[in-house]
Every structure is written in structure tokens, then in C-alpha cells.
């Protein structure tokens, strides 16, 4: 959490701030009974045991937007307010998606070692693609999906989207064509995922769905690792069916050396450690939004 925002909270509350606390469930359970406010990122499991032990808990601040690590139903039953940082990291994630699209389309991050070793692989890298007039498929058209669309529009991309909860778009986004999931997958040169993890979305992009995609298309996942079948992505990158993939999230996080072994030497793959929503600016916005919301909750 941004240091200045932690200090703001410390000026109002007795505050326990420990960046490693999420790793120690025993310690969490020991201190939680006296806690009125809990602020977490995505690695802290706010499960039934934690919530039942939190006899004084009134509000949970989520430094992010996904709530799959919080037992939301139990919080509702116990009248515990949950405050996610909606919108605060939208720009950061959208820029990550567009950056990944550019890098993977033009294959520009594959040449450094070869160039400095004197191989000069110019012919090998001449088959990159422009984003101009390509089709971008956005699965999940919330704040982040719309921000990606706005940025992609500046590249003159054609934009299609699937979101079962949105039947039509505002005039501002009239350039986005709402389609079925199958249409988005079959028509898109790039597919980006922006859906929450739920029973409906788990394993949404599996072997069958990838087979629907265009040969050479690109897949970007900044939502949750469980949304897609990692082994199917690896298989289709190796076969060339997928032209590239950017994975910022994984089924097991943090990704261990053992779990990460399957991703070694997979072509046209960009892996990052769940950082698409993290920049200096977004961390300040997220931290400020949560700190101010907690202070407002107690009318301080």
C-alpha cells in the first residue's frame, strides 16, 4: 500500500501494516478478533475461518477489484461492508493489454539476445503484424474492457465484445459490436479477457474455445488464471495455432519454479507476475481510494 496512505490511516487508527502477513494464516487468525477494518490485496484469503473469527470486523477494503479471495456471501450475512477499488487501476491494466498486443503482434521482444550475439534475425522477425484494421475481441466489457476498447480504437482496430450482462452499449461506445462468445473467438485477431472468476467463467477458455480462434491469433489474460486452461494455451502456442499469449495471472500464485517449469521455452509467450494493475500511479490511486473510503465509513 502507498506509504503516504498508510500514514494517513495510522493518523486515524491503531494500524497493523505488514506486507508479509498474507503468508501467515495463523497470525491473521490470532489478530483478527480485535480488528475493525481489514485491507487486503488478492493473496490474502478472507475465508470462512477468518470472517467467523473477526468478531469486530465492520469493513474490508480491497486494494483491487476482484473479490474471489473474499467470502462475499458470508460478509453480507454478517453485515460486513466490502469496498473494492473499482476504476482505480483501470488505466494500468488497459495499457498493459495494449502493450502486450503490440509486443506480441510485432514480435519485438524476441530479438534482444539474438541481436546482441550477432545473429541479426531480421528475416525471422519480418512476419510481424500491425494492429491497424485488425479485430480485437474483448470478453467482459466492464470498466477495464471499455478502457482497452478506447485505446485500441486509436489504432483503427475493429472491436467486438462478448458480455452476457450487456445487451447494448452507450453512444460513446457505439463502435463496439456486441457478439456471441463464439463470434468473438472466430472473428478476432486478438482476444483479451476481462471477466471475474465465478462458476460461469472458470475454464471459460479451454481447448475447444481455442480451436475456434483464428490461426495465429493472440490471447491476453489479465483477469484470473482459472479463466483459461493453461495447458491448452501452451499446446497451441507450441503448435503455432496461437500466435502469441500474454499471461499476467496463473492458476497458482505466486507461480513456483516447479509449477512454472511447463512454461519454459514456450514460443511467443509473455509471462508477468500479476502486475498489470500495478504502477506507481495506480497504486497511489488504489491506496488513496481505499484509505479515504475507510475514513469516510467511520465519519472521521
Q: What is the C-alpha separation between 191 and 78, in angstroms, rounded? A: 39
Grid cell listed for 197: 472468476
253 is catalytic: yes
Transcribe 108-142 into DSSP letters.
TTS-HHHHHTT---TTTTTT---STT-EEEEE--S
The active-site residue out of 41, 62, 146, 274 is: 274
Name the residue among 61, 42, 71 with its Cα closest to residue 224.
Answer: 42
Grid cell listed for 244: 502469441
- With a CB cutoff of 8 Å and minimum separation 6, the contacts of 295 are 8, 9, 12
252 φ/ψ angles, rounded to the nearest 5 degrees: -120, 120
At the topology level, CATH places domain 90-271 in Rossmann fold (3.40.50)
Q: With left for phi above 0 and alpha for psi between -120 and 50, is residue 157 left, alpha or beta?
A: beta
Q: Is the CB of residue 9 less than 8 Å from the CB of residue 15?
A: yes
CATH class, 3-88+280-297 region: alpha beta
Grid cell listed for 178: 456486441
The active-site residue out of 194, 224, 226, 230 is: 224
Q: What is the C-alpha separation between 88 and 271, in angstroms, rounded? A: 23
265 is catalytic: no
Q: What is the C-alpha separation between 85 and 289, in angstroms, rounded? A: 6
Q: What is the C-alpha separation between 37 and 16, in angstroms, rounded? A: 10
Burial class (CB in 10 A: 0-12, 13-18, 19+), 55: exposed
Q: Is the CB of residue 176 less than 8 Å from the CB of residue 157?
A: no
Identify the pLDDT of residue 125.
86
- Ordered by start, the domain boundaries in the chain are 3-88+280-297, 90-271
pTM: 0.93
Q: Is the CB of residue 137 less than 8 Å from the CB of residue 192?
A: yes
Identify the pLDDT of residue 107.
85
Q: Is the CB of residue 38 less than 8 Å from the CB of residue 57?
A: yes
274 is catalytic: yes
- Model confidence pLDDT, tens digit, residues 114-168: 999 999 999 888 889 999 999 999 999 999 999 999 999 999 999 999 999 998 8
> Which residues of the chain, if any, have pLDDT below 70?
none
Domains 3-88+280-297 and 90-271 in one fold:
yes
Identify the pLDDT of residue 83.
98
Q: What is the C-alpha separation between 280 and 147, in angstroms, rounded? A: 19
Burial class (CB in 10 A: 0-12, 13-18, 19+), 158: middle
Q: What is the C-alpha separation between 67 and 195, in angstroms, rounded? A: 12
Amino acid at each position: 500500500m502507498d506509504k503516504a496512505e498508510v500514514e494517513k490511516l495510522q493518523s486515524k487508527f491503531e494500524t497493523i501494516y505488514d506486507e508479509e502477513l498474507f503468508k501467515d494464516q495463523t497470525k491473521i487468525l490470532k489478530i483478527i478478533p480485535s480488528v475493525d477494518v481489514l485491507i487486503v490485496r488478492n493473496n490474502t484469503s478472507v475465508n470462512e475461518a477468518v470472517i467467523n473469527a473477526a468478531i469486530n470486523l465492520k469493513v474490508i477494503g480491497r486494494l483491487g477489484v476482484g473479490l474471489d479471495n473474499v467470502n462475499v456471501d458470508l460478509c453480507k450475512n454478517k453485515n460486513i461492508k466490502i469496498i473494492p477499488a473499482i476504476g482505480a487501476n483501470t488505466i494500468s491494466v488497459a495499457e498493459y493489454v495494449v502493450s502486450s498486443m503490440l509486443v506480441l503482434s510485432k514480435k519485438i521482444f524476441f530479438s534482444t539476445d539474438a541481436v546482441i550475439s550477432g545473429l541479426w534475425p531480421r528475416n525471422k522477425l519480418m512476419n510481424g503484424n500491425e494492429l491497424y484494421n485488425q479485430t480485437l475481441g474483448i470478453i467482459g466489457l466492464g470498466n477495464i474492457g471499455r478502457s482497452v476498447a478506447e485505446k485500441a480504437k486509436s489504432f483503427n482496430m475493429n472491436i467486438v465484445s462478448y458480455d452476457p450482462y450487456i445487451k447494448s452499449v452507450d453512444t460513446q461506445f457505439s463502435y463496439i459490436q456486441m457478439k456471441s462468445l463464439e463470434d468473438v473467438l472466430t472473428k478476432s485477431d486478438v482476444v483479451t479477457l476481462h471477466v471475474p472468476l465465478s462458476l460461469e467463467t472458470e475454464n471459460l477458455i479451454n481447448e475447444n474455445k481455442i480451436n475456434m480462434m483464428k490461426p495465429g491469433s493472440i490471447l491476453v489474460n489479465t483477469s484470473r488464471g482459472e479463466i483459461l486452461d493453461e495447458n491448452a494455451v501452451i499446446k497451441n502456442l507450441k503448435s503455432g495455432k496461437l500466435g502469441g499469449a500474454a499471461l499476467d495471472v496463473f492458476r497458482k500464485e505466486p507461480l513456483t519454479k516447479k509449477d512454472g517449469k511447463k512454461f519454459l521455452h514456450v514460443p511467443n509467450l509473455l509471462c508477468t507476475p500479476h502486475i498489470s494493475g500495478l504502477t506507481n500511479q495506480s497504486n497511489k490511486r488504489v491506496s488513496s481510494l481505499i484509505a479515504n473510503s475507510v475514513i469516510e465509513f467511520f465519519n472521521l
